[in-house]
């Protein structure tokens, strides 16, 4: 692992945490549209990270950041406040985000054969 790759993965982790926080606030504030927008943003980041790095670690780094942020937001504070309500939207965001993370991390990228083996005439 090169230092540049490590920096990219750390940035993806932080972006995943940011998307988790933004999605948690958005899905609760604007229910049907906000939930869809939050899940689409999550999927875009996970898939974009996999495309950027060229392997599954690009999807796993933002997924880990998203999961850490979302889990920390589900805990109650001493004052009794919490971000997630006990509604259907919150559960759909949690389960949908985890499903998107698993899908993006396990599907992988379609590998093209090298140009030299793909051309039969040479």
- From first to last of the 122 residues of the chain, give the pLDDT tens digit: 789 889 999 999 999 999 999 988 888 777 788 889 999 999 999 999 988 888 888 889 999 999 999 888 887 777 766 666 667 878 888 899 899 988 888 886 666 655 565 555 65
pLDDT at position 107: 80
Question: Based on the number of CB atoms within 10 Å of its own CB, is 43 exposed (0-12), middle (13-18) or buried (19 or more)?
Answer: middle
Q: Give the model's pLDDT for residue 72.
A: 87
- Look at residue 45 in the predicted model and tell me its pLDDT: 92
CB-based burial label for 81 (10 Å; 0-12, 13-18, 19+): exposed
pLDDT of residue 81: 66
């Amino acid at each position: 692992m090169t230092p540049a790759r490590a920096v990219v993965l750390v940035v993806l982790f932080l972006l995943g945490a940011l998307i988790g926080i933004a999605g948690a606030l958005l899905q609760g504030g604007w229910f049907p549209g906000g939930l869809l927008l939050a899940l689409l943003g999550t999927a875009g980041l996970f898939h974009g990270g996999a495309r950027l790095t060229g392997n599954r670690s690009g999807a796993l780094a933002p997924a880990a950041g998203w999961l850490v942020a979302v889990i920390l937001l589900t805990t109650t504070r001493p004052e009794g406040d919490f971000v997630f309500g006990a509604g259907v939207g919150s559960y759909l965001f949690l389960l949908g985000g985890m499903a998107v993370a698993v899908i993006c991390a396990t599907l992988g990228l379609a590998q093209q054969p090298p140009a030299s083996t793909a051309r039969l005439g040479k």
